[in-house]
A and B are shown apart, each in its own frame.
Chain A
Amino acid sequence: MYLIEKENVMKIAEELAKNYELFGPVVDKGTGQVFFDRVNDSSEISLSAEIPAIPPKHVVFPQIERIMKYKYDRSAKKAEIEAILDNRSKAIFGIRPCDLTGLIVLDRFFLGQEFVDEIYREHRKRMFIVSQNCIAPFKQCFCVCTDSGPFADEGYDLNLTLLGDYYLVEAGSDKGKELVQRLGLKSADPSYAEMKKKANDKSISLFESIATDNKAWISRVMNRITTGFIKEDVWEYIGKQCFECGACTFVCPTCSCFNVEDHNRFDGTTDRLRTWDSCSFEGYTKMAGDHNPRHPVEDRRNKRFFCKLSYSQSKKYLRPGCVGCGRCQWVCPGDIGLPNVVTYIRREITE
């Protein structure tokens, strides 16, 4: 445990910017919307900004990404193929615990199973992560229901907690320790561990008064979803409200579905692209001859919640797929963000 003065905390970002491409929360001047994005200078980052509208997922899993390039020479009947891997070193500064948990879930999907996704691995392997604990929740938050905040437990190189005039800095890796030493941060005495715990308790106690948008008591619902004891008409009620826009998937810190397309370029080459995709789309599961195992929209919806909230799926992620960030709720044209779906299912249980 180390300490850095509140006004000096950006020195960590400045130090990282020397060797890494820097990403962090940025407030759009015109509209006030917060993004988590690449910055040219660490001064663009606002550590105190609210939870960003976009999770940092796109840093490791871009919305649209070139993964290969090829050119076919018709006369010589020869193809040149070139794999494209993003080997830039990236530092993400100020990621919140929910989004950090999202990153851990993505790691388990792309790296932790039978197949390792080398494109994702390239994004991920030179990465430096500085997380910041939420000393107070935001309106949309429900990470206390999903065990993914308000304080981070794992997955960071450095973790920041604002305690009065100081940030408590915890190193979660050798890389993190090395940076702390390079910056010459002073050690924090053991009493800070107690202060941090108090700050965590306080943050949790603030949920009741601040985080009023969403609640999702998921454990009972996980049981129901896993065992399938949910009435058809509940799924129909949910499916009827799905506008099939894909937004819930795109804003979700843990959603990992993708599509692969070949993009013909004006210069005669072709780019192979990997793009975000969504299980809410009919074309996503459609097979040849118009067969679709998940044809009705409610089947596609229930697949999404099965993916987020069933035991079998959670075994793969080693936790539920939802991290309690509340983004799916405010982007949904229907009224079926995950917290609401949990409410609809619980309502049925109570009835």
Chain B
Amino acid sequence: MDYKSGVCNFCGTGCGNYLRISDGKITGVYSSRNHPVSKGRLCVRGWHIHEWLMTDQRISSPMIKVDGSFKNVTYEEAVNFMMEKLSPYMGSSAKAIGFLGAPRWSNENNYLFMKLARSVFKTNNITLDSESGHRGSLNVLSKVTGFPAMTGSLEQIEKTKFIMVIGSDLTRINPIIGSEIHKAQMAGTKVVTLGSRKTQMAKLSNLHLQCRPGTLKLTIALIAKVAIEKGYMDKNSASSMAGFNDFASSLAAINMAEAIGSTGISLDDIDSVAKELCGSESAMAFWSTGISGADEDTVSYIANLFLIAGKVGKENCGLNSITGLANLQGGYDMGVAPDLLTGFQSYSDGAVRSKFEKAWQVQLPAEVGNDVYQLLENKNKDLKVLFVAEHDEGIVKYEKEIANLDFVVYFGSYDNPFVNHADVVFPIAALIEDDGTYTNTERRVQISQKRIQAFNGVLSVRELFSMIAAKSGVKWSYNSSEDVFKEIASLTPSYSGLSYDKLINSTGIQWPCNSEYPNGCKSFLLKSGTALSFAKVSGTFPAVNVSEAFPFLLIPGRGEYFWHQNNIMKKSYIPKREYNATLLVYPKGFIEINSEDAKKLQVREHWTVKISSDKGSMNVSVKISEDVKPGTAYVPYFIKEMITDFLLGHSDKSDMGLDATIPVRIERV
């Protein structure tokens, strides 16, 4: 039989699949009926992963840039070239070097990437690419529960009685999770969606709280406020937790009537949600992390609301941060962050650091590093060298800053616009050309086995990095990905009970898996002795005032569209057609406005309008949609000019995640 089991590599859901491999080539994909997460389902991307994996748009040979143009060389030559160029920047603590990791890479590859940065290039400037929001969720969850990841389990969605989906359209970003929520709703679970746009998720809910753009955080705060003031809350435990008084008094400071006015939601709706959430036997919250996902402050309000409702650490409950990329959670688990080692162990902790120093037999720099994107945004003068792993986005942000660096190294399997910014390019083996484990959004570690030979004989990350380490006098002796995983397990308390043997004969195991949880841990359950505490909140809510000059509230977001012209999606046929259709029809991008506003502006579908804010302007086409309310507008960013010329000017806003709102003026052109 030609079908071999595997794991989908698009979003963070971690659906099981079967790839059809005939005579060493990929010839198809099929869904996995017995997989506990996907249960026979796949989304449009998952049903076409074979199209991406069979692409010939690969990097086929190591390349070095000489006098501005690339030259094919051997791995040996490329490594020599790189080490020679980098010698001036190598030191005991290299502030000059940054590492940008890939949230789609396996745990093993990410671990080695982190190890290469720290033990060979002595830098802690390590950041996961395309991720911005997930870390905020991890910080809050770790603070509140001591559990640095989604606390619930996808398998328990069908059992929970109340679901709150905040912001993003899960039916598009993580469709199988959206499906699971939809099925729970059909079976009687109450589903409430919060968000400014009427998404498919909202349409499939019992109740959609369509708040005005920029007031999502406020809406959540109001639900919490009502829960306390009306006495719906879990009085026995919540009020005795650390931080309760601070949170309660920050809520008390909100003027209810004013706040209700700015959210545009009725007090009755807020009241009924607060009451049902608190009164329900179990409840889960879902929010997307990553770009256009929830920011740290919003996540703090969500977590605190659920503490007040008494829905944390109980059966079939969960604070569920949903990752949009296959191994975003795993990337963090592997310590691809300036201040973390594996399993969310703090780099600043001397005992942890010396454990790694002993295992790696190197001296590590004592100071934590910086976020690479922040260094780029601040035009940091110290940063001179950048190592980049498989850049997923077809659009390169901070293009100018990257062009000004002295030296850029790129590791990747697929052809990508980022390659042109590199001085040396290393092709590496892709998914299913090497064994690797991936950790989905609910901490499920799954193995994807090697099924085909590497394209054109390219090396695996393990082989290549060992070669680079050897060149700098450090001996890495891994014979397989399994060897790497053994090292990870030995250094990571939450992974210590995992092994390839266990993973190969399972559909994944959810960490922590160790002596305390020998079979893994489906969801975070409160035990006697563990204490929950409230997260600190800002207590401030951005004013979202329109003015005569800028009468529309614009919501920027990736939505279901061709997010940053996703590079791997471009290598498929059907998903590319589906996503590209938008790009072909709206080559300049589009703005979604309500038909009422279209009438007022005297514009029709496809007409060009000029959008201006206090920072700049851009021209886009009109798309008329009832999914946005009058007075609000939605722009999905998938056009290079939109990101670099318009939205990067508002980067202060995009840090606000779900509540990012830009007051704009829309004019006919």
Collect the chain B residues with CB atoms within 8 Å of residue A53's CB: 30-31, 33, 40
Interface-facing stretch out of B276-284, B330-338, B398-406, B574-582: B574-582
Chain B residue nearest to A26 in the complex (CB) = B1
Residue B550 is within 8 A (CB to CB) of chain A in the complex: no
B34 touches A38 (CB 8 A): no
A63 CB, nearest partner CB in chain B, Å: 4
Decide yes or no whether B186 CB sits under 8 A from chain A: yes
Q: Bound state CA distance, A259 and B47, in angstroms? A: 14
The 6 residue pairs across chains A and B that have the minimum distance between CB atoms: A333-B179, A63-B28, A283-B577, A266-B56, A290-B585, A26-B1
Chain A residues positioned under 8 Å from B50 (CB to CB) = 63-64
Which residue of A has the minimal Cβ distance to B50?
A64
Q: Does B232 contact A (CB under 8 A)?
A: no
Known A28-B5, A30-B5, A259-B574: A246·B41 in contact at CB below 8 Å? no
Pairs across A and B, CB under 8 Å, 24 listed:
A37-B1, A37-B20, A39-B1, A53-B31, A64-B27, A240-B200, A241-B182, A241-B204, A243-B178, A244-B44, A246-B574, A250-B47, A261-B573, A263-B56, A266-B456, A281-B577, A283-B574, A283-B580, A331-B40, A331-B42, A333-B175, A333-B176, A333-B182, A334-B179
The answer to whether the Cβ of A84 comes within 8 Å of any Cβ in the partner chain is no
B2, B31, B33, B578: which contacts A281 (Cβ < 8 A)? B578
Known: A38-B22, A243-B43, A266-B456. A32 touches B34 (CB 8 A): yes
Question: Digit string of B196-219 for contact with A (CB within 8 Å is 1, else 0)?
Answer: 000010011000000000000000
Interface: A33 (CB within 8 A): yes
The CA of A335 and the CA of B185, in the complex, are separated in Å by 11
Q: Is A286 an interface residue when CB atoms closer than 8 A count as contact? A: yes
A332 CB within 8 Å of chain B: yes
For B35, list chain A residues within 8 Å (CB): 31
Any A CB within 8 A of the CB of B18? yes
Q: Which of B5, B22, B40, B456 is the most central at the interface, judged by chain A CB atoms within 10 Å of its CB?
A: B40
The answer to whether A31 and B5 have CB atoms under 8 Å apart is yes
Q: How far is the CB of A263 from chain B (nearest CB, A)?
A: 7
Is residue A178 within 8 Å, beta carbon to beta carbon, of the partner chain?
A: no
- B507 interfacial by beta-carbon distance below 8 Å: yes
Contacts of A63 in B (CB 8 A): 20, 27-29, 50
Does B58 lie at the interface of the complex (its beta carbon under 8 Å from any beta carbon of A)? yes
In the complex the two chains form, is B44's CB within 8 Å of A281's CB?
yes
Among residues of A, the one whose C-beta sits closest to the C-beta of B43 is A245
Interface string of B40-60 (1 = CB under 8 A from A): 111110110011001011101
Residue of B nearest to A297 (CB): B200
- A53 to chain B: closest residue by CB: B33
Binary contact readout A57-77 vs B (1 if CB under 8 angstroms, 0 otherwise): 010001110000000000000
Asked if residues B32 and A283 are in contact (CB atoms below 8 Å), the reply is no
Q: A264 at the A/B interface (Cβ < 8 Å)?
A: yes
Asked if B502 lies at the interface with its beta carbon under 8 angstroms from chain A, I say no
**Contact, CB under 8 Å: B44 / A246:** yes
- A241 vs B171: C-alpha distance when bound (angstroms): 10
B27 — which chain A residues lie within 8 A by C-beta? 62-64
Given A38-B1, A246-B574: A31 touches B51 (CB 8 Å cut-off): no
Tell me the bound Cα distance from A335 to B505 in angstroms. Answer: 31
In the complex, the answer to whether B56 meets A264 with C-beta atoms within 8 Å is yes
Chain B interface residue bracket vs A: 35 or more
Contacts of A281 in B (CB 8 A): 44, 574, 577-578
Interface contacts beyond A37-B3, A62-B27, A333-B178: sample of 12 additional A-B pairs, CB < 8 Å, sorted by A:
A26-B1, A31-B5, A31-B32, A31-B34, A32-B34, A38-B2, A64-B50, A240-B200, A244-B578, A331-B40, A331-B42, A333-B43
Residues of B within 8 A of A (CB): 1-3, 5, 16, 18, 20, 22, 27-35, 39-44, 46-47, 50-51, 54, 56-58, 60, 171, 175-176, 178-179, 182-183, 186, 200, 203-204, 456, 505, 507, 573-574, 577-578, 580-581, 585, 606
Would you call A245 and B47 a contact (CB within 8 A)? yes
A36 nearest in chain B by CB position:
B1
Q: How far is the CA of A348 from the CA of B1 in the complex (A)?
A: 45
Kindly state the separation between the CA atoms of A331 and B16 in the bound complex, as whole angstroms.
13
A157 within 8 A of B: no
Q: What residues of A have a CB within 8 angstroms of the CB of B57 in the complex?
A: 264
Beyond A263-B56, A266-B60, A331-B41, whether A54 also contacts B30 by CB under 8 A is: yes
Q: Are B44 and A31 in contact (CB under 8 A)?
A: no
A35 adjacent to B1 (CB under 8 Å) = yes
Write out the residue numbers on chain B whose beta carbons fall within 8 Å of the beta carbon of A282.
Answer: 578, 581
- Is A265 engaged at the interface, CB distance under 8 Å to the other chain? yes
Q: Does chain B have a CB within 8 A of A44?
A: yes
Say whether A275 faces chain B, with CB atoms less than 8 Å apart: yes
- Residues in B with CB closer than 8 Å to A241 are 182, 204
A170 adjacent to chain B (CB < 8 Å): no
Chain A, residues 224-249, CB within 8 Å of chain B (1/0): the string is: 00000000000000001101111100
Residues of A within 8 A of B16 (CB): 31
Contacting residues, chain A, for B32 (C-beta < 8 A): 31, 33
Question: Across the interface, do B56 and A247 meet the contact criterion of CB distance under 8 Å?
Answer: no
Q: How far is the CA of A53 from the CA of B40 in the complex (A)?
A: 9
Q: Is A330 at the interface (CB under 8 A from chain B)? A: yes
Of the candidates A32, A37, A243, the one whose C-beta lies within 8 Å of that of B175 is A243
Q: Is the CB of B34 within 8 A of A33?
A: yes
Q: A37-B3, A62-B28 are in contact. Are A247 and B578 (CB under 8 A)?
A: no
B3 to chain A, nearest CB (A): 5
Partner of A246, one of B1, B47, B58, B171: B47
Chain A residues near B581 (CB-CB < 8 A): 282-283, 286
In the assembled complex, which residues on chain B have CB atoms less than 8 Å from the CB atom of A247? 31, 41-42, 47
A286 neighbours in B (Cβ, 8 Å):
581, 585
> Within 8 Å of chain B (Cβ to Cβ): is A277?
yes
Given contacts A28-B1, A334-B182, A277 and B28 within 8 Å (CB-CB): no
Asked if B1 and A44 make an inter-chain contact with CB atoms under 8 angstroms apart, the answer reads yes
Residue ID in chain B nearest A290 by CB atoms: B585
Whole-angstrom distance from the CB of A289 to the nearest CB of chain B? 8
Q: Distance in Å from the Cβ of A281 to the closest Cβ of chain B? A: 6
Would A35 and B51 count as touching, CB distance under 8 A?
Answer: no
Chain B CB count within 10 A is highest, among A243, A259, A290, for: A243
Residues of B close to A332: CB separation below 8 A: 41
B40, A275: Cβ atoms under 8 Å?
A: no
Cα A32 to Cα B182 in complex, Å, equals 27
Distance from B506 Cβ to chain A, minimum over Cβ atoms (Å): 9
Minimum CB–CB distance from B183 to chain A (whole Å) comes to: 7
Residues of A within 8 A of B456 (CB): 266
Q: Indicate the member of A245, A259, A331, A335 with the most B CB atoms within 10 Å.
A: A245
Tell me which of B47, B179, B200, B585 has the highest count of chain A C-beta atoms within 10 A of its own C-beta.
B47
Residues in chain B near residue A265, CB distance under 8 A: 56
B44 touches A330 (CB 8 A): no
User: What is the bound-complex CA distance between A28 and B19, given in angstroms?
Assistant: 13
Closest chain B residue to A35 by CB distance?
A: B3
Residues of A contacting B22 with CB < 8 Å? Answer: 38
A275: B residues at CB distance < 8 A = 51, 573-574
CB pair A277–B43 under 8 Å, yes or no, is: no
Closest to A244 in B: B44
- For A90-124 the 0/1 string (1 means CB < 8 A from B) is 00000000000000000000000000000000000
Give the distance in Å from the alpha carbon of A331 to the alpha carbon of B606 in the complex. Answer: 36
Query: What residues of B have a CB within 8 angstroms of the CB of A37 in the complex?
Result: 1-3, 20
CB closest chain-A residue, reference B573:
A261
- In the docked arrangement, what's the CA distance between A35 and B178, Å? 27
